[in-house]
Amino acid sequence: MTKSEAENLLESFIENENLRHHCRMVAAAMTAYAQKLGKNEQQTHEWFLAGLLHDLDWEKHPDAHPNYALTEVFPQYDLPESVTEAIRAHAPERTGKQPETEIERYLFACDELSGFMHAVSLMRPEGFSGMKAKSVTKKMKDKRFAANVSRDDIRQGAELIQTELATHILFLAEVFESNP
């Protein structure tokens, strides 16, 4: 699946602009990490696809997410198994698949944190510019702020990629500042 085919699939399946934005943020995060880790062009593309398509069925089939996309949508497309397995592993409580491979661990690590950081950026006049890890971790302590975001998943994600949470936050803040 090409980048434009993936974008077209996203556009046709997700109407909510906020959810589209989230998917694009996770795709940018995954692409940046793939490049940082020295992945080749094909692998980087797979990481992009996993990020972009990970929540494809969330809007229309929230109770069946991500299983609906995995069984009903993705088989119609030429998606690498690494991509579909990463998408399966980003929601282990729904699929039973824990994130094990590198792409699976990074997708898990980028998903919840991206959404949370977006919420933090909306509270700041300068958005992601100059965002500090401490301001994000401070907001994590406020259970009412972005209450639907799992703080445990954010912490577990950083552990899965063997990165300090502050380092992970700062890396993503740089990515998101240059890919708003």
Q: How far is CA 62 from CA 56, 79, 106, 144, in A?
A: 10, 22, 22, 22
Domain boundaries, the chain: 3-178
Contacts (Cβ under 8 Å, ≥6 apart) of 82: 46, 50, 101, 103
**Tens-place pLDDT, residues 9-49:** 999 999 999 999 999 999 999 999 999 999 999 999 999 99
- Which of helix, strand or coil describes residue 180? coil
**Tens-place pLDDT, residues 117-174:** 999 999 999 999 999 999 999 999 999 999 999 999 999 999 999 999 999 999 999 9
Burial of 18 (0-12, 13-18, 19+ CB in 10 A): exposed
Name the residue type at position 92: P
Whole-model pTM: value is 0.96
Check the CA dihedral 132-32-175-100 and report its sign: negative
> Cα(94)–Cα(92) distance, rounded to whole angstroms?
5
- Which of helix, strand or coil describes residue 78? coil
